[in-house]
Amino acid sequence: MKIYRLPFLLFIAFFAVTASAQPTIYIVRHAEKLATWLEDDALDAFHPLSAEGAVRAQKLTEQFQPEAIAAIFSSRTTRALHTALPLSQKLNLPVEAVDACMDTAAIVSFYKNLTQRFGPDKSVVLVSHSNIIPYLLLKAGLPQSCFKEMRIKAAAPNEWLLIEGYDNIWQVKKSASPQKNCNDFLRKTF
């Protein structure tokens, strides 16, 4: 299973920021994956967490209190689902596997559904990948001027946007303003 991405400039043109009331969104990268894994691209989706990743997935549960989160969404990969599982168990919520956490082409319809399903008084968690998180943030309205603060960078000029590390949570705060700014976004380490 391959994780699909759009080139950065194409993405910016395709994903115009939409002004709609959305829930507070917490975005997390899957925890550390096993360093050695089969060198078969067809099996990449099944790449498991390492022991360190399992510890980090458990640590993620400390970041959220019961009844603070209305839904948990994840990519369909084993590493993302296993990152979400301890939080799912703590909050007694199912993990919903969605394409938007692993395929940029699904982000627009996912956000539309998200804003229809959850109002601004709700919060949701998304567990995704280093190459998808920047695009989830962009669709939520992150201005390019906030990239450095959010630790987003391109692999090379006009290339894919990426985030690094496994220990960040990005929070997209509720905002009534159609014009988002850096104050609508937080990045914290856990």
- With a cut of 70, say whether residue 20 has pLDDT above it: no
- All domains of the chain, ordered by start, with CATH? 22-32+46-157+186-190 (3.40.50.1240)
- Secondary structure (H, E, C), 106-171: HHHHHHHHHHHHCCCCCEEEEEECCCCHHHHHHHCCCCHHHCCCCCEEECCCCCCEEECCCCEEEE
How is residue 68 written in tokens? 């603070």
pLDDT at 180: 67
pLDDT tens digits for range 113-162: 998 999 999 999 999 999 999 999 999 989 989 999 999 998 777 888 99
Residue pair 134/155 in contact (Cβ under 8 Å)? The answer is no
Name residue, tokens 């559904």. Answer: 113
C-alpha–C-alpha distance, residues 183 and 185, integer Å: 5
Instruction: Return phi, psi of residue 85, to 5°.
Output: -60, -50
The count of C-alpha atoms lying within 13 angstroms of the C-alpha of 127, restricted to the half-sphere facing its C-beta, is 30
- With a cut of 60, say whether residue 176 has pLDDT above it: no
